A = this chain, B = another copy of it.
Amino acid sequence: MSHTYEYPRAALAVDCVVFGLDETDLKVLLIQRKLQPFQHAWALPGGFVRMDETIDNAARRELEEEAGVSDVYLEQLYTFGAMHRDPRERVVTVAYYALAKLSDHRIRAATDAMGVGWFALDALPKLAFDHSEIVSRAHERLRGKVRYAPVGFELLPPRFSLTQLQRLYEIILGTELDKRNFRKKILSLDLIVETDEVEQGVRHRAARLYRFDRRKYDRLAKQGFELSI
């Protein structure tokens, strides 16, 4: 039986929700659109997928090109294909979320230079297309995932204090945690280990810095260990 392949082709795009964490807030990186539609509106970094690259690659490329962001944790989130989400024509977008270390000077420098903005998640401007919906879903996913996967560390510098880690969970989960109970639990996992470094340049007692032992985690995970925070 002979067969020719005739079927509709959608324009396929990617969009990325890049999260960053500062002292008090979870932030999202946005870019201001230069072109119609939604000219001048804030939007997620993203663009069309090329025929010679995977979708993951398209996401990384657009992050680099549009926002100067590279070397981040990146995970596919959901594919949005509502009929009129783009007023021009049918565009299906594969959404990703990324976790960036705001403390990373390269990220700071790159995003400062390119006219992009970091916005607190609870004070976002109106966004282009269905990007608000994408951000909501990304936040939801992050909230869920942070409790059973070691993704939070992607938002922190490689060495961090236990207070920083606690703040991270408080900010993402939106709850207050008890300091002593948190430390007890975290340290009992034996995956967050002391270093001989301490916080620098603070005007109070310097906190001891810890690091996440990813090797150990990976080893345990292979043996069926399940994290739970």
Contacts and interface: CB of A to CB of B under 8 A. Distances in A.
Contact of A51 (B5, B10, B35, B55): B10
Nearest to A36: B3
Contact of A9 (B10, B79, B81, B83): B10
Interface size class of A (residues with CB under 8 A): 20 to 34
A90 interface: yes
Interface in A1-54: 1, 3, 5, 7-12, 35-36, 48-52, 54
Contacts of A52: 83
A156 interface: no
A69 interface: no
Contacts of A82: 54
Interface of A: 1, 3, 5, 7-12, 35-36, 48-52, 54-56, 76, 78-79, 81-83, 88-90, 92, 94
Closest 10 CB pairs of A and B: A9-B9, A55-B81, A8-B51, A7-B48, A10-B12, A79-B79, A79-B94, A54-B81, A51-B90, A8-B50
